[in-house]
């Protein structure tokens, strides 16, 4: 299983991420049946150029962002016509919707999902881009769906940047969903329950999966009163008390989006925040290794910061079925 993108079409071989502080991209090639990251590039953005939000303008300086993307796509070699686009988690509202019975017709299911999320939507559902994937089946037989709701106008802002850079965003997906796909693409369905914590300089997201089924999602924006490690600890308690949890088989902590992590009581490093999570949960966490899906070409030196940057991009292509 892969978590749905916000919009899907035939799979590309190039993935792009537009984040508040940088634009990044990778190209995937196939060599002898093996997927290879053949090229990568990134460029820092000026403060305020991208400001992710559910409502309101997200791309404050489209010219600057599209020019940066044009340059990094040029560094990949060739000009891709179609790309997978990774966007910040906090442009969308993610919900779990449980249905006692699932309509057989796709159109009826779509209408039912929209009806369920209408009341909690932060904007009119008629203005929303809605996507969903099947999740866990409850012991009583009900079917859960993972639903992502984003304002269509906001998604179009990110797509427009790609268009101005000469590429069509054929796939649009949230960064943390792409990281989940990277884990699933590398190892299939991990046994038991597992936790993934995605840290960026501007927000943190926490997901719990039961095998390949997402059963919990929470996003925390910069500036919240509680630190991300505190929120992870609270999530672990909720998991035990409300989700029937018996312990995490794995805890994965990964970061993307640049430096300057602000999701602790004071600005700190990714390693420091990860260490705090290790201490609060009493476990040794691991990171996402995108090389288990696509190895790097011999000319690319893969350090930890590069692996963090590449992971959601590789996951976006893996989730798109792009031959990785």
Least confident of 90-99, 224-233, 282-291: 224-233
- Cβ–Cβ < 8 Å for 217, 136: no
What share of the chain in percent tops pLDDT 70? 90
Residue 9 has pLDDT above 70, yes or no: no
How is residue 262 written in tokens? 């602000």
pLDDT at 33: 77
d(CA 34, CA 296): 11
Task: Say if 324 falls within a structural domain.
Answer: no
Beta strand ranges found along the chain (DSSP E) = 14-18, 22-31, 34-44, 82-87, 92-99, 128-137, 143-151, 168-174, 193-199, 203-210, 213-221, 250-255, 295-296
pLDDT classification of 322: cutoffs 50, 70, 90: low
* Pair 128, 175 in one domain: no
Question: Quick one: 57 and 180 in the same domain?
Answer: yes
Residues 112 and 199 in one domain: no
Domain of residue 42: give its range.
14-90+152-319
What is the per-residue pLDDT for 217? 97
Judge if 112 and 158 occupy the same domain: no
Is residue 69 domain-shared with residue 144, that is, in the same domain?
Answer: no
Same domain, 207 and 250: yes
Return the higher-pLDDT residue of 81 and 31: 81
Residue 145 and residue 280 in one domain: no
Do 34 and 77 belong to one domain?
yes
Same domain, 108 and 84: no
Query: What is the tally of structural domains in the chain?
Result: 2
**What whole-number distance in Å separates Cα of residue 72 and Cα of residue 303?**
20
In a domain, 278, yes or no: yes
**pLDDT for residue 266 is more than 60:** no
Asked if the structure places residue 9 within a domain, the reply is no
Across residues 137-150, what is the average pLDDT? 91
Lateral strand order in the sheet of 295-296: 168-174, 82-87, 14-18, 22-31, 34-44, 295-296
Has residue 2 been placed in a domain?
no
Residue that is last in its domain, among 151, 180, 195: 151
Identify the pLDDT of residue 251. Answer: 95
Task: Measure the CA–CA gap between 199 and 290, rounded to whole angstroms.
Answer: 16
Of 120, 151, 182, which residue is a domain's last?
Answer: 151
Report if residue 311 sits inside a domain. yes
Instruction: List the CATH number of the domain containing 126.
Output: 3.30.1490
Regarding whether 124 and 168 lie in a shared domain, the answer is no
Q: What is the pLDDT of residue 131?
A: 94
Confidence of residue 10 (pLDDT cuts 50, 70, 90): low
**Which of residues 103, 118, 151 is at a domain's end?**
151
Across 152-166, 239-253, 302-316, least confident range: 302-316
- The tokens 């009163």 sit on which residue? 225
Within-domain flag for 211: yes
Instruction: Tell me whether residue 162 is in a domain.
Output: yes
Question: Mean pLDDT throughout 189-213?
Answer: 91
**pLDDT, greater one: 263 or 277:** 277
> Are residue 61 and residue 102 in the same domain, yes or no?
no
Residue 263 in any domain: the answer is yes
User: Each residue of 101-138: pLDDT tens digit?
Assistant: 999 999 999 999 999 999 899 999 999 999 999 999 98
CATH number of the domain residue 306 falls in: 3.30.420.40
Instruction: Report the share of the chain in percent with pLDDT over 90.
Output: 70
- Could you give the maximum distance between any two Cα atoms of the chain, in Å? 53
> Is the pLDDT at 246 greater than 80, yes or no?
yes
Per-residue pLDDT band for 75 (boundaries 50, 70, 90) equals very high
Residues 303 and 284 occupy one common structural domain: yes
* Residues 175-187 pLDDT 10s: 999 999 999 988 7
């Amino acid at each position: 299983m892969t978590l749905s993108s916000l919009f899907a079409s035939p799979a590309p071989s190039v993935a792009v991420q537009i984040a508040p502080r940088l634009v990044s991209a990778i190209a995937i090639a196939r060599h002898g049946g093996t997927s290879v990251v053949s090229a990568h590039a990134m460029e820092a953005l000026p403060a305020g150029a991208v400001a992710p939000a559910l409502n309101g303008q997200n791309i404050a300086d489209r010219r600057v962002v599209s020019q940066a993307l044009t340059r990094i796509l040029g560094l990949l070699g060739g000009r891709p016509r179609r790309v997978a686009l990774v966007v910040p988690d906090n442009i969308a509202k993610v919900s779990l919707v449980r249905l006692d019975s699932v309509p057989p017709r796709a159109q009826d299911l779509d209408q039912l999902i929209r009806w369920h999320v209408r009341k909690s939507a932060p904007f009119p559902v008629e203005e929303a881009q809605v996507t969903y994937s099947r999740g866990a089946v409850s012991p009583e037989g009900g079917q859960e769906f993972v639903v992502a709701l984003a304002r269509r106008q906001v998604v179009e802002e990110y797509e427009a940047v790609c268009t101005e850079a000469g590429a069509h965003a054929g796939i649009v997906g949230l960064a943390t969903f792409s990281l989940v796909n990277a884990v699933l693409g590398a190892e299939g369905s991990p046994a038991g329950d597992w936790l993934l914590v995605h840290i960026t300089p501007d927000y943190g997201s926490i997901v719990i999966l039961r095998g390949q089924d997402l059963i919990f999602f929470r996003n925390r924006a910069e500036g919240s009163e509680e630190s991300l490690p505190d929120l992870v600890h609270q999530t672990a308690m909720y998991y035990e008390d409300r989700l029937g949890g018996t312990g995490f088989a794995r805890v994965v902590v990964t970061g993307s989006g640049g430096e300057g992590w602000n999701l602790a009581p004071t600005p700190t490093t990714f390693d420091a925040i990860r260490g705090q999570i290790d201490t609060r949960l009493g476990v040794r966490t691991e990171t996402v290794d995108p090389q288990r899906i696509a190895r790097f070409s011999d000319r690319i030196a893969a350090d930890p910061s590069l692996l963090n940057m590449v992971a959601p991009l590789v996951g976006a292509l893996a989730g798109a079925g792009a031959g990785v």
